[in-house]
Each structure stands twice: as C-alpha cells, then as structure tokens.
Amino acid sequence: MNFFKQEVDAAVDALLLQQVILYPTDTVWGLGCDAEVPRAVEQLYKLKGRPEGKPSIVLVADLEMLQRYAAKVPVELEQLLATQERPTTYILPAGPAVAKNLVGPDGTVGFRVVQEEFCHKVVRRLGHGLVSTSANKSGEPTPAIFSEIDPAIVRGADYVVSWRQNDETRTAPSRVVRLGEGGELQVVRE
C-alpha cells in the first residue's frame, strides 16, 4: 500500500470515529471533522478556541454532495464549478444534514467543491462533508504550511496527516462568493 493511500485511509478512519484531524486542504492547512457530527464540531471549535455560531467551510466532493448539504443551490453554480480556476467557497443556506453548530446566525454555511486530490479522496471515501477551518487558534495568523502551525494545535488534533508536511508551497485562501437575497452570486473575497 502506498503512503498516499495510507494517509487517506487513516484520515477517514479518524473521521469515522468522530475525531478531529489536522490536514492539508486545497488552500491552507486545516482542522476538520465530519460535517454531520455536532460533537466533533464542538471538539474542533474547542481546540481552535472559536465560538460556536461562527460558521466554517464544508468541503464536498461534487455538485450532488453539495445539493445534499445546501438548502438552495443556484442553477448557474454547475457552470461556475466547471469553469472556476481556483478554489472558491460558496456561502449558501444550510440544509438539515449540516451539524447545527456549523451554521451561521443567518442560516448559511460556506461550501467548497474540493478538487485537490487528497481532500477529494478523503471526502469521497468518508461519504460526508468535511469541515475545513484554518489550523490556528481563533484570531491568530493562518498557517499556509505545516511548520507554521502552533504546536498546541498539532498536539490537540486526534490525527495529524503526514501527507505534504514538508511541502513549502504557499497558496492563497479561497475566493468567497455569497448567494444574495435575489438569488444572484456576489463576490465577498477575491
């Protein structure tokens, strides 16, 4: 069995046990858990020092999975997903499958259809959305590479993915787009 597959399997095993993982996302290093398990979300927020009610991102494998988690998906989103050139988070109304403590006060959650191979395989194998929030204490700088992560975060995670720990590539946070009241998509962060 190769190292990549071992890391995917180990991450999924931890997620199935409702644990918090520390992992490389398609943008920065993140903390994650099963997006359907409120207790796991609570553990993640405690580790991060983040107040509940401040939404996180849910990574999904494809449009079909997105439709399972979002209460409303704009029809033009399929075309946007096919043509987007960088990771983009879409803020949409949350559906009932999302853990309630992930949902913002306005009833929304950020969703991202993940393209990056490691995250995509984890989400696909898990079969659920994967919470993604930066691997830092609330209010602290976002770690772009593993060596920038606070050792307390590393110690606090139930499973730390070894894949890409030595990768020094820096990527920007995702673009953020919100569904407006009239159904139009508005760019929040370029």
* pLDDT tens figures, 20-64: 999 999 999 999 999 999 999 999 999 999 987 787 899 999 999
Does residue 171 have a pLDDT over 70? yes
Rounded mean pLDDT, 89-109: 94
Query: How many whole angstroms separate alpha carbon 163 and alpha carbon 74?
Result: 35
pTM over 0.75: yes
Q: Which domains does the chain have, with CATH numbers?
A: 3-189 (3.90.870.10)
The stretches of 100-141 forming alpha helices (DSSP H) are 117-126
Rounded mean pLDDT, 122-149: 96
How does the average pLDDT of the chain come out, rounded?
93
What pLDDT, on the 0 to 100 scale, is given for residue 141? 93
What pLDDT, on the 0 to 100 scale, is given for residue 1? 67
Specify whether the CB–CB gap between 162 and 11 falls below 8 A: no
- If phi over 0 gives left and psi between -120 and 50 gives alpha, with beta otherwise, what is residue 164? left
Specify whether the CB–CB gap between 135 and 148 falls below 8 A: no
Does residue 187 have a pLDDT over 80? yes
